[in-house]
Structure 1
């Protein structure tokens, strides 16, 4: 039992370290989205950990990763809060589905539902508090700077900013990012799972 716990802690620690690393690199914007929306893969190790060790382990990776990232925040912690909400809801949902049905079908179902949850939580966060917070905290209540940063969105103005931003940026960006992350998970999970199984056998000796 002790060896099993040690193995779990070891795997969680290593995946958390990867999640923190992926918070910073690779990290890049895409030209057809506002520059403050950046591709980063910090949820990838958490999803893998959730699939391999269960929802609680995956959730722990998200929480610890976020706490480590907080001192480096450039968004007054709001970006980290959103990442925490997206990470927890996505990882817990997909890992729970896979835990109940550890088959290819269960894995794909977890990824599909996890993708939907990811997009819904991201859109809800932007709609209910993220945009308003940035406008008030960073731009003294003026939305025009955000409009300028989102000028690649056709027809965007201060009056229609929220609807245009969600339709042309928040939804497609988070859909694209979640599909990429889950696709990579699908490609590498089996190899990592076999590696963890081999470690478990060694711990049992």
Structure 2
């Protein structure tokens, strides 16, 4: 087992991850802005998950995604039900797996930007497909109606939500990493926002 694997599950790191999970739930409770359609809302809850993914890797990021999605789904976002939980896991999960795997190969500022941009693209495409398949079943509307909403609502919403959260992740990663003493941001070389 390498040093990183050993350091991943120290008491301090587990506490940091738990705090990020709580912060994610608090953010969605405090900030949710309707966009385009009543059931599409921007929230910054994924930012702590993205930061944790960069600090601890895509597996930890995905596990945190599942935990947060369930916590949100039974508390502040209970009205969305199981579909909301699944949608959150699918959207954020695919982002953290893709972006986290890109970033962990080369932990530089430039590669962090690449990872986030690719993550946004994959999230957006995946959620367009998800909505076309699942939303007609969830909302009881014809698939044609959902397809008609792709360009004016679903596509821009997902680009904006994932894009804003990625930009904020890029800007905050260094500061939050230092605040929580996350192991992988102690080196200037490894910090994605260091010039």
TM-score, normalising length: structure 2: 0.83
For residues 149 and 161 of structure 2, what CA distance do their matches in structure 1 show?
Answer: 16
Structure 1 residue 57, shift from structure 2 partner: 1.8
Partner of 2:46: 43
In structure 2, stretches of 5+ residues that fail to align are 1-5, 187-195
Partner of 1:169: 153
Partner of 1:99: 104
Count, aligned residues: 178
TM-score, normalising length: structure 1: 0.79
Structure 1 residue 193, shift from structure 2 partner: 2.0
What root-mean-square deviation, in Å, do the aligned CA atoms of Structure 1 and Structure 2 show? 2.2
* Larger gyration radius, structure 1 or structure 2: 1
Structure 1 residue 69, shift from structure 2 partner: 2.0
Partner of 1:131: 136
In 2, are the aligned partners of 1:78 and 1:130 still within 8 Å (CA)? no
Partner of 1:150: none
For residues 173 and 163 of structure 1, what CA distance do their matches in structure 2 show?
Answer: 14
Residues 162-195 of structure 1: CA deviation (Å, up to 9, x unaligned):
2221111110000011110001011111112233
In structure 1, stretches of 5+ residues that fail to align are 136-142, 144-157
Matched, 1:179 2:163: yes
Structure 1 residue 62, shift from structure 2 partner: 0.7
Q: For the structure 1 residues 117 and 2, does the alpha-carbon distance in structure 2 shift closer, same or farther, using more than 3 Å as the test?
A: closer
For residues 195 and 105 of structure 1, what CA distance do their matches in structure 2 show?
Answer: 22
